[in-house]
Structures are given as structure tokens and as C-alpha cells.
Structure 1
Amino acid sequence: MAKEQLQVLNALDVAKTQWYHFTAIVIAGMGFFTDAYDLFCISLVTKLLGRIYYHENGADKPGTLPPNVSAAVNGVAFCGTLAGQLFFGWLGDKMGRKRVYGMTLMCMVICSIASALSFGKDPKAVITTLCFFRFWLGFGIGGDYPLSATIMSEYANKKTRGAFIAAVFAMQGFGILAGGMVAIIVSAAFKAKYPAPAYEIDAVASTVPEADYVWRIILMFGALPAALTYYWRMKMPETARYTALVAKNAKQAASDMSKVLQVELEAEPEKVDRFSQESGNDFGLFSKEFLRRHGLHLLGTTSTWFLLDIAFYSQNLFQKDIFSAIGWIPSAKTMNAIEEVYRIARAQTLIALCSTVPGYWFTVALIDKIGRFAIQFMGFFFMTVFMFALAIPYNHWTHKDNRIGFVIMYSLTFFFANFGPNATTFVVPAEIFPARLRSTCHGISAASGKAGAIVGAFGFLYAAQSQDRNKTDQGYPPGIGVKNSLIVLGVVNFLGMLFTFLVPESNGKSLEEMSQENEEDNGSATELTPHAGQDIRTVPI
């Protein structure tokens, strides 16, 4: 039997879309803008770092990062992100969303600057310092995932909640785009000092002194958007759902939301006291009751996010290697270091502009119309199709006349990642778990995703190497090749499609309905029931 809903929570559920919704999207979204910029900008400068710090005197080829160093530079931030998602997700349920929100942002600002100022007497020391600060940068980024999703879900109305949470996450697309644009602008500014004939003669010797400034400026820029939004994050009131349902302060919740919604709301402290005395919904994360009600849901959100991020992050971090393998980016020997950054950034920006960013906003537009399940299942399906379409006739795509076709097909995998599971895996964990465990469960789901990103960053670094003769000549271990890498990613996406059946549909329902917090305890978990004409997919538990 359903409990009577608190007035303040009901007011949030039925509120019309107002200015504060858009303010919350921008404030929370700028964190994701920064997250994406910081995580993906490193792939733009990885080859530059190899040229600067790992070029051997007398060698006739540009320097490259050794496999273990490249894996560390690309993947260490994900290790920090995983730790931050678990820690700050738990802390957000213990201390409140707002109090922890500022900590994550300051960590990101400080570590972005520190990463750019990495120092040392030799290349090993510089890279070690860079990896140290990027770990802690990732730690701060990790906290932004559960907190931003939880805050937005608890502020939103139930009619457009999916679009609002997805809009926060869609700022990630602009962060990826901004990373490429900043790299283009910075590299173009320095490239202008060295006309092409000056370095085409001796590409190896053309790693000019200013190249060291390029990667530092690109990394440091990530501190700017985070710093600009710190003040506004601190001005946001705590969410009413945390204040009322977790902190049990009905008066404060009503006061905060009266200002936000600009209506008078009754505090109802007696109703909060009555709810808190009922034992049916006070189970913990490691209890049998949580396992019975939400165990399969948590398995669904963690497994799909894990599988999605293996594919998504390996594609993003190593698309420069794939583009080099098919010849879309020229050989490093034909251009200087800054020119190479420019070419890589231009290619990745084109992909982001044409496929990544539109994919996010297709999700925003349609998620509350066709539902989370349909978008996630469809995204995994088309990612699987396009991966196999690239992998099976791979030799066909490597021919210079077919490169444009390869790039278009490859772009479509990014489009359906973002108009698909990359957005929905972020949205759903913020909707289906109880308020006192919402941030924690979202953090666990997100951390599972980052475990997949680590597999993608470390595992697929080696996978695509065997077909690059230059790398083989430089002592790289044999990999499984780009073709087989794409086949593996296709299989991973197919598994994600299957695990999507464990994830419940939350479209059109209040957070309390989804988490069953408004149900009286009768000794058994209530199975979610659909609205008329609405397909609610969930697993009986």
C-alpha cells in the first residue's frame, strides 16, 4: 500500500519546468564539461609527450611513449575516478549532496593546474608527477558522477526528469568538443611560427622547444570551467529529498524548496517522523532486503555501464591510433610534433561535432518519450552492428578510397553510444534506488563503468599495435590488431544489449515509486507496475 507523499516532494514531482531547472542543469553540467575535457584531452597530447620526452638522440624516427608509460598516462585518471566515485558516492549519502559537491570541484581545479605544471629532472620524473596529479584529478572527477546525477534527479519533476539528467550528462559532449578545439587553437598558434618547409626535411628534429608549452596549456585549461562554477554550486540549497527523507528535517526541506519553487509549502514534520518510525524502508546496502528488492537492478546498472565503458573509452582514447592505421592521419615522420597534435585534434573534433554531441542531445529530446530501456537497447544494438561492419571487411576499409566510409561508420558508433547506453547508464541509477542509498548506488554503478574504462585504456592499448610496423620496429609487444580489437568491442556491445534486460524502466514514475520508498512494508517487495500503455521492464525479485 502506498504511503501519503510529502507535500514538498509532490510539489517537485509535478512542478512545471522553471528557470531553476535550467540553472541546475548548467551548474551540474559544467562539472561534466570539465570531467570530459580533463579525461579525454590527454589522448590529444599522448603522442606529443612521446616526442618530447622519449626521443633517442640519433634515432631516425619520432619518439613514442613506451606501452607501459602510455597505459599509465591514459589510464591513471580512470583509476582515480573509480576511487572517487565509490568514496564521494558514499559520502554524498552520509554528509549530504551539497556539502560534498564543493570538495570535488576544488579537487578538479587544483589538480588540473598541477597536472600542467608537472616537473622533474628527467622524463621519467615528469611523467611520474603527471600521473600522480592525474590520479587525484580523476578522484575529484569521480565524485561529480554520483553527486551531479543525484542532485539533478532530486530537483527534477517526474515528467521531464530523464531529459534533465541526460542534459547534465550531455555537457560531456561539449567537453570532448572543447578539448579538441582548444588543442587546435593552441597547436595552430605555435605551428604558425614554423612553416612547413622548415620541418619536412627533418621531421625527427622538429620537436621545437615550444612543444612543451602546448600540452601544458591544453591540460591547464580544464581548471577554468570548474573554477567558474564553484560559487554557484555553493549557493545551491540541499535537495529536499535528502533533507526530508535522510536528514529528517522537514522544516528545512520545505523552506529551501519554497524559495526554489516560489510557492508556500507545508513542513509536515509529523509525517516525516511517522515515516522514520516505520521499519520497512530502513534496510542497508548489504542487507538481504536490499538484495531482494534492488539486487538485480544494481547488477543491471553495474554490468551495462561496465560493458559500455570498455567500448566507449577505448574508442575515444585510441581513435588516433585507428585513424593512423587506416591512413586518415599521416605518418608521424611526415610532420613535426605540433603539426601532429593539430591533425589529431582536428580529426577528433570532427568526430565529436558530427556524431558525439548530436547523440547526447537526441537522448535528451527522446528519453522521456520512448523511455530508457528502448534507447539503451537500441544503442547497444547499433554499436554492435557497426563494430562488426567495420571489423569483418577491415581490409576493405584500409584502402585509401574507402577511408571516408570508415570514418562515417566509425562516427555512427559514437552517435549510438551517446544516443544510447552512454547516457542511459548515467540516468537510471539516479532514479531507481532509495534516497539514503541513491548516491552510493550511483557511485557503485559509475565505478563499475570506470573499471570498464580501465580495461579499455590498458587492455586495448596493446590490442591495436600489431598492424603498425613502426611500433613493432620500436620494440612494442605484438597486439591482436585493430580488426580483432573491433570484433572484441562488438562482442562487448552485444553482451551489454543482453544485460539491459535487468534494468527497470523508470519513465514517468516518481523517485519514491521507483525505489518503493512510498510503499508500506507488508513483508514482500512490491513489483513495479506499468502505467496504462507503458511497458515497464523489470525482473521480479
Structure 2
Amino acid sequence: MARNQLGVLNALDAAKTQWYHFTAIVIAGMGFFTDAYDLFSISLITRLLGRIYYHVDGHPKPGTLPPNVAAAVNGVAFCGTLAGQLFFGWLGDKLGRKRVYGLTLMLMVVCSIASGLSFGKSPKGVMATLCFFRFWLGFGIGGDYPLSATIMSEYANKKTRGAFVSAVFAMQGFGILAGGIVALIVSAAFDHAYSAPSYSVDPVGSTVPEADYIWRIILMFGAMPALLTYYWRMRMPETARYTALVARNAKQAASDMSKVLQVDLEAEEEKVEKIGTNSTNNFGLFTKEFARRHGLHLLGTTTTWFLLDIAYYSSNLFQKDIFSAIGWIPKAETMSATREVWRVAKAQTLIALCGTVPGYWFTVAFIDIIGRFTIQLMGFFFMTVFMFALAIPYHHWKSNHAGFLIMYSLTFFFANFGPNATTFVVPAEIFPARLRSTCHGISAAAGKAGAIVGAFGFLYAAQSTDPEKTDAGYPPGIGVKNALYVLAGINCLGMVFTFLVPESKGKSLEELTGENEGDGDEIEIPQASTTQTVPV
């Protein structure tokens, strides 16, 4: 067991896996379920928005969102998320993790509902209202990243901390899957011609009046899981590491964790006071000492997350465009609006089932066995391999949809059994408690900057090189094939910057950060079912 450690923190590090661990995973994880649902459900309905609000009467083809509107609808939530990660990450270190935790959740609930109720007298008005609410939805989602990661890492024991933190993040996979399933159910329910022979052959690509309800219901459903866990989130005590190491309240830390661990813990006020007066551990974020100790670590976590999200969000948000490019989804004019939503949702649900969800849980199973560094390096490597495997024989996949599904699913599998999970876990472990939430927020914000590049860049880059084949209003791009080459190159860079990130497997948080240095003895942690005093 660890030496030179506060008894309450040693108790957390050495605690056996208990019910409270799983409770914390579910409470924090439902926030990420909601995050993923809200961020990625927009890709299911963008074509429908174009049909409803930008269809030209008498024109044979269904409407599409203008380039600037499509970019705004897809990317504005990421702008809000970036801002929220920075703000709430900083606030989590200033006010405490718990105090701002409920605020982010309620913001997500309110803005999910408001997004579905977007109003306006014109198409521009509806889109402007939608973008406004999705920005603030993203702002709330942004706060969930540093707070959930920090809370889970500070609650977990050191042997299975990686699995617990990555399990919280793995709820994203279920959120993406739920988005596809909800879209399938809602679109099928509103499709009055579902069983008609002419169902998929409509020369004008009809849009039934009820189609306006489809996208609204899909967006509003995102409020449900977050709302259901609000009460339990508010009942979680503040983490002992924040209370003891940042707030310097030894009694409260011991009291809170005694209830959680079901053991008696003594308040170590003198030791907490000694840690607080230790000048070697009081450096700030913008100091030479921080740069010396953690500068390269922060560079590593920000760059790898930035590069990963360019590739990951480009692939995830624009699946429908890639599917259309290879002919997996028929042209819009051959389908009704509800059918198109159903086809896009079906394709994305299959990808989630085959690659996204399994990848997350492989990380949960192996992160504390083979380590964060190995998983991240391996993930970037195989993402590169499978991006090239899609790009090089690109035209072959137009006649081999099953093979494309397998290759495309594997890119998501190794993103999630790879850097998409580890970039979330590591920043919650390697920085000091008083800066942990802030540094995680900075790292996550760098990721969302990458997502913004992916959302806006891929939208234009994936357009055909032939001006006559681009979507209405879009300039020529480099084509999907060349865009895949670019993404493969980005993944290669991710492998390089992974070498800046330290391995944190099996170490206590204080051992990684150099905090809590002082005199202390090893302690034995009693079983959770008994009530004993932990000697200091």
C-alpha cells in the first residue's frame, strides 16, 4: 500500500470494488449517455431539416441545408461544449466538483427540450433558434466531461481506476446507439406508407407534414436519461481528494468517506495542514513549476485529444454522407423523408452495434491490464490502417457494402478501444487535485476544437471534386476518398504525440502528481462490511 498518504485517501486507493463504485459509474455515466445522444443525434436529422425547411416548390429534388446552415447546425454544439469544458473545468477546481455537477445536468435537460421546441416564422428563424439552444446544450455537456472524469477518478481505487473511469465514458456508446434506435422507432411510427409497395419509390421525395415532429421528438428525448439521474447526482458527497487536498477540510473528508466506504476514518487535520503549507505543491497552472512537472503531459493530452477528435467526429457526424457516396443509402429523391431518416438511423445503428459499443467495453476490460499508453498507441495505429483500407480500394466498396461495413466498424472499434477512451481517462489521473478538473477541461476543449475542425472541415472537404456533383451551394472539395487519406494521416500524428503521455496504470493519484508528501505509515483497510478505525 501507499506510504506518505492521508488515511482517507489510502482507504479509497485500497478499497475493494463495492456497490458505491457501480452507483457512481451509473450516475456519472448517464450524463455521458445524454452527451453522446445529444451531440450525435443531430447527424440523424440534418437531411430531414433540409427537406422540411429548404425544399423549393416544384423542384424535383428534396431540399438540402445551405452550407452555412449545415455547418452551424452540426458545429455549434461543439463550440458550446468547448466553452463549457473550459469554464466548468475551472469552476470544478474553484467551487468543488459536486457544487457545479447538478448545474451542468439541468442545463442539458432544459436545452434538450428547448432544442426540440425551436420556433421561428421562417426557416432561418427556426435554424437560428435551434443553434442557440444547441450552443447552450453543448455548454452543459462540456461541463460534464471534466467533472465526471474527475469525480470518478477520485472515487476509484488505484487497481481498477482506469476501468471505472472508462466505464463512465463507455456510456457514450449506448447514447449513440440509443439515438439510432429512437430515430428508427420515431421515423417508422410516422411513416404512414411503411408497408406500401411504392414506399421507397417517390419521384418527388415526399415530406409528410408530420415529419416536422420527427426531429423534435428525437432531440427532446435526450432530456430523459439526464433528468432521471439528477436526484442521485445531487446526493453524491464531494470527493475526499477535493475536500482534503483543496478545501483542506479533514473532518468533512473523513466523515463523507466513512459513509461511502462503511468504515470509521479519523480526521488528520495536522497532516492536511502540513500538506497545505508545503510550498512545493502549491504551484499554479501558469507557473514554471507546473511547466516543468506537467507541461509536456498537458501538451500530450491536448494534442492527442485534438487529433483524435478530428478523425472521430468527422467519421461519426458524416456517416450519412460516406454511406451515400458508396451507394449504401439511396439518393434522397428515391425515398420519402421518413424513409430517409429510417435508412440513415439503421446504418448508424449497425455501425454502433458492430464497432462503437464493443470498442468502449474492450477498453474497460483491458485498460488496467495492458495500460493506457499501449491501448492509445494501438488504437491510433489501427485507425490509420483501416482508414487506408477504406481509402485505397475506395471504389471497390461501392459494390461491396458488407465489406465496407466491416472495415468502417473496425475504425470505430479501435477508436473506442483506443484513444477515444484513453484521452478521457488519463487527464483525470496525472494532474494535481487542485488543477485536475481545469487540466481535464483544457484537454477536452482541445478535443472539441478538433471536433469543430472535423465538423466544419469534413463537411466541405468531402464534397466531390466535380462542381456539378457537389451538394447545392457547396464549393468543390477533395472528395470522400482523399478526405479518408487525410484522416489516416491525422491518426499517424496521434501515434507520435502519444509518446508525451505517461502511463498511469496501478498508481495512486498522489503518487502520479507528487502531492500529499509527508510522513505516514502504511495502513490496513478493513472490509467494507465491518466498522473499524483506520490507524493513521
TM-score (norm 1): 0.94
Letter in 2 for 1:462: Y
Give the Cα separation in 2 of the matches to 1:394 and 1:467: 15
The count of aligned residue pairs is 518
1:431 paired to 2:439: no
> Counterparts of 1:3 and 1:272 in 2: how far apart (Å)?
15
Look up the match of 2:439: 441
In the alignment, which residue of structure 1 is the partner of 2:285? 285
Q: Any conservation in 2 of the 1:255–1:265 contact (CA below 8 Å)?
A: yes
Matched ranges for 1:409-424 at <5 A:
409-424=407-422
Per the alignment, residue 32 of structure 2 pairs with 32
Measured after TM superposition, the shift of residue 472 of structure 1 is 2.6
Contact 1:280 1:520 in 2 (8 A): no
Taking a change above 3 Å as real, the CA distance of residues 162 and 116 of structure 1, as seen in their structure-2 partners, is same
Residues 270 and 200 of structure 1: is their aligned pair in 2 closer, same or farther, counting only changes over 3 Å? closer
- Separation (CA, whole Å) in 2 of partners of 1:279 and 1:50: 59
Q: CA deviation at 1:273?
A: 0.7
Q: Which runs of 5+ in 1 are unaligned?
A: 522-541
Q: CA shift at 1:184, angstroms?
A: 0.2
- 1:160 aligned residue: 160
Determine if the alignment matches structure 1 residue 486 to structure 2 residue 484.
yes
Aligned residue runs from structure 1 range 255-274, under 5 A: 255-274=255-274
**Which runs of 5 or more residues in structure 2 are unaligned?**
520-536
1:278 to partner: Cα distance: 1.3
Contact 2:243 2:250 in 1 (8 A): yes
SS state of the match for residue 73, structure 1? helix
In structure 2, relative to structure 1, the CA distance for the partners of 1:69 and 1:266 (3 Å cut) is same
The AA in structure 2 aligned to 1:146 is P
- 1:239 is displaced (CA, Å) by 0.1
Give secondary structure in 1 for the equivalent of 2:291.
helix
Amino acid aligned to 1:435: A
SS in 2 for 1:64: coil
Contact 1:62 1:203 in 2 (8 A): no
Give, in angstroms, the shift of residue 475 of structure 1: 3.5
Q: 1:68: how far off? A: 1.1
Shift of 1:195: 4.6
Post-superposition offset of 1:394 = 1.2
Do 2:71 and 2:456's aligned partners in 1 also have CA atoms closer than 8 Å? yes
Q: Distance in 1 between matches of 2:308 and 2:200?
A: 41
Deviation at 1:196, TM superposition (A): 3.8
The residue matched to 1:204 in structure 2 has which SS? Answer: coil
Counterpart AA for 2:227: A
* 1:47 paired to 2:51: no
Higher relative contact order (CA 8 A, sep 6+): 2
**Letter of the 1:94 counterpart:** K
Give the superposition deviation at 1:396.
1.9
Letter in 1 for 2:222: G
Structure 1 residues 470 and 60: CA distance shift in structure 2, 3 A? farther
Cα displacement (A) at 1:203: 4.0
Q: Note the alpha carbon deviations across 1:85-140, whole angstroms, 9 max, x for none.
A: 00000000000000000010010000000000000000000000000000000000
Q: Counterparts in 2 of 1:280-319, with a 5 A limit?
A: 280-319=280-319
Deviations 1:426-464 (A, max 9, x none): 000000000000000000000000000000000000111
Q: Which residue of 1 aligns with 2:137?
A: 137
The 2-side partners of 1:121 and 1:132 are apart by 16
Q: Which residue of 2 aligns with 1:227?
A: 227
Aligned to 2:524: none
Residues 505-520 of structure 1: matches in 2 within 5 Å? 505-519=503-517
Aligned position for 1:99: 99
1:317-396 to 2 correspondence within 5 Å?
Answer: 317-396=317-396
**Deviation of the 1:397 alpha carbon:** 1.9
CA drift of 1:468 comes to 8.1
Deviations 1:453-498 (A, max 9, x none): 0000000001111168875363321011000000000000000001
What SS does structure 1 have at the residue aligned with 2:229?
helix
**Structure 1 residue 192: Cα displacement:** 3.8
- Partner-residue secondary structure (3-state), 1:395: helix
Structure 2 CA distance, aligned partners of 1:22 and 1:468?
53
Do residues 248 (structure 1) and 248 (structure 2) align? yes
Q: Hey, what does 1:406 align to over in structure 2?
A: 404
Aligned partner of residue 273 in structure 1, secondary structure:
helix
Residue 463 of structure 1, aligned match among 433, 448, 461: 461
| Partner amino acid, structure 2, of 1:242 | Y
Indicate conservation of the 8 Å contact 1:54/1:123, yes or no. Answer: yes
Offset, 1:78 = 0.1
Instruction: Please state how far the C-alpha of 1:406 moved relative to its aligned partner.
Output: 1.3
Contact 1:118–1:130 under 8 Å retained in 2:
yes
Question: Which amino acid in 2 is paired with 1:42?
Answer: I
Aligned partner letter, 2:259: K
- 2:529 maps to none
- Asked if structure 2 preserves the Cα contact closer than 8 Å seen for 1:177 and 1:353, the reply is yes
Alignment match, 1:120: 120
Query: Which secondary structure state, in structure 1, belongs to the residue aligned with residue 41 of structure 2?
Result: helix
Identical pairs, percent: 83
Please report the RMSD computed on the Cα atoms of aligned residues, expressed in angstroms.
1.5
Find the aligned partners of 1:370 and 1:199 in 2 and give their Cα distance: 51
Provide the C-alpha distance between the structure 2 equivalents of 1:473 and 1:217, rounded to a whole number of angstroms.
27
Distance in 1 between residues matched to 2:267 and 2:511, nearest whole Å? 21
1:519 Cα deviation (Å)?
Answer: 4.1
Are 1:3 and 1:518, in contact at CA under 8 Å, matched by a contact in 2? no
1:309·1:456 contact (CA, 8 Å) conserved in 2?
yes
Q: Is the 8 A contact 1:325 1:467 kept in 2?
A: no
